[in-house]
Structure formats: C-alpha cells, structure tokens
Amino acid sequence: MIKYIVKRILQAIPLLLLITIICFTLINMAPYDAVDAITTPDMSIAEIEMRREAYGLNDPVYVQYLRWLNNILHGNFGYSLLSHTSIKYDLMIRIPNTVRLVLPSYLTAYVLAIVLGLVAGSHRGKWQDKLLDGFCSFGLSVPTFFFAMLLMYFLGYRLKLFPIMGMHTIGKEGSMADYLQHFVMPYLALVFGFLPDLTRYVRGSTIGQLKEDYVTVQKAFGANKSEILFKHVAKNVLIPLITKLGMALPMLVTGAVITETIFSWPGIGSYFVKAVSGLDYPIVMAVLILSGSLVILGNLLSDILYCLIDPRIKSMQ
C-alpha cells in the first residue's frame, strides 16, 4: 500500500506542474493585468510603467513563472497585487471558514443521498421513485445562486428569521448562536446544490445492484426487502460512492464560490471572485494550485479507500 501511494504521488507531480504551466499561461494571455485594474486616469505613462516593472510584469512569461514556482516551492504564495496582504495569511484565515460551511453541507447531502437513493432505486417506477426523481430534476435545473437568493428573500428579508450576509454580526464574533444564525441559509443552499446529483448517483447504483444474482439468492432464502436493501445492497452501493467522497475534497476549498459570494461569507470563494475581478493573478494562481492539488489528492484518497473497502481491488494492483 505504501509503495502504491508513493508511486501515485510521484505520478501526480508532473501533472500538477503541467496544471500550473497551463493556468499561468492562460492568465498571462488575458488582455489586462493587475496594473490595468488599479490604473487611474490621472496616472502618467511613466508611473504605470514603473508599477508594471515593480511587479515584474515586464519580464518574459517564463521568467515570471519560474520566479513564482520558486516562491511556491519555498512556501511563499506571495502578496496580493492590490491589497498587498500576504496570500498565505489570507488563505490560513479563509480556508477554515470555507471548510466550516462546505463540510457539514456535503456530509448532510451525502447521508441524505444514500437514504433517498436507496429508497428511490428500490421502488423504481413507483410513486416514491417518481417523487424523488422529480425533486432531483428540479434541483438540477434550478441554479444554486437562484435558490440562495430565494432563501435570502423569504427567510432573510420577508420573515427576518436569519441574517442575510456575513458569518458574524459585528461585535458578536464569539457568539455561537449568532454564527449558527448566519450559517443556516448558506448551509441550506449548499445542501440543495449537492443533494440531487448524489441522490441520482445512489439511485442508479441501487438499480444496478438489485439486478445482481446475489439479490435473487437472498430472496430465495427468504430474506425480506429491507434486509436485502440495507444489509447487502447498501454495502455494494457504497463502494462506487467512495469515488464521490474522494472527489469532494476540492470542494472544501472551491465548492462554495457562488454561495459564499452571494452571502458574503468570508471564505475562499468570495476571496477568489474578488481576485479574478481585480486581475490579482498571484491570488488566482494560489487558489488554482491549491484546488488542483486537492483534485489529485482526492483521486488518491478514492483509490486508497477502494483498496481498504474492497480487497479484490487491492489484489489486482
């Protein structure tokens, strides 16, 4: 197992390097840069060029990339071109805020999807399946930002049950009750966004498992439907679902970009959107490399969990 993990990590290094090259190249192909974003009409051409030179934007692209890569390898993500704050420090503050929001939301959707997917798959074509399939179709067709705005309008503005924006009320940063009030609406928006796709995935796996021979054998031995479903089918359904769990790792950083922006949640999502709109490429690159690393780690985590859960996969390595 250790040998396999080391092999996969070594294979991931050139892939991660390729991701950084592509992202850096695409960012530098943009018609504007950070200096253009902060330029004012009263700035002279000489002052603009001086700022461009200070940021190193006049250097060839490969020189800028090698300088950036060297800093990353030394744990230095650089500084924001607009706010001049440390990107590493900003990420250390914002990543926990995003994890606090995304992790409970995804785990809730994950557990609900297992139950709802098993119920829908075991009642294929019946009213339970049609009801859940209708919900999933509705959930997939409604954009997350639209559902989030509906929550803001009805629960926040009309009924005034929850605060509309932010993670804390000013002066109540240490209050758990105040935090939970701010947490509810973005949490519901994310659960609504994650649940339909996961439920359909479980439903499809359940339908496939119910066609297997072992289900027929269990029925022949007199096992009831609930026992077959939750004792035997559920175990086999969870194996492919592990892939979803591993691939959810990048969502802990970039899974709530739209939701965080709408609710002004101080996480990575809103931080990334502001950086993109301000052409602050050091922040954009830092978030992209972090997200790319988590995608690779998510794939590795999925493979490891597969080996731990299903011994047959381990024997084929």
Share of residues in the chain with pLDDT > 70 (%)? 95
Residue 104: closest CA among 288, 239, 255: 255
Residue 187: closest CA among 137, 151, 146: 151
Q: Is the pLDDT of residue 185 over 60?
A: yes
Segment 233-249, tens digit of pLDDT: 888 888 777 777 777 77
Segment 111-142, tens digit of pLDDT: 999 999 999 988 888 999 999 999 999 999 99
Decide: 214 and 223 in contact? Cβ < 8 Å: no
**Residues shown for the chain:** 317
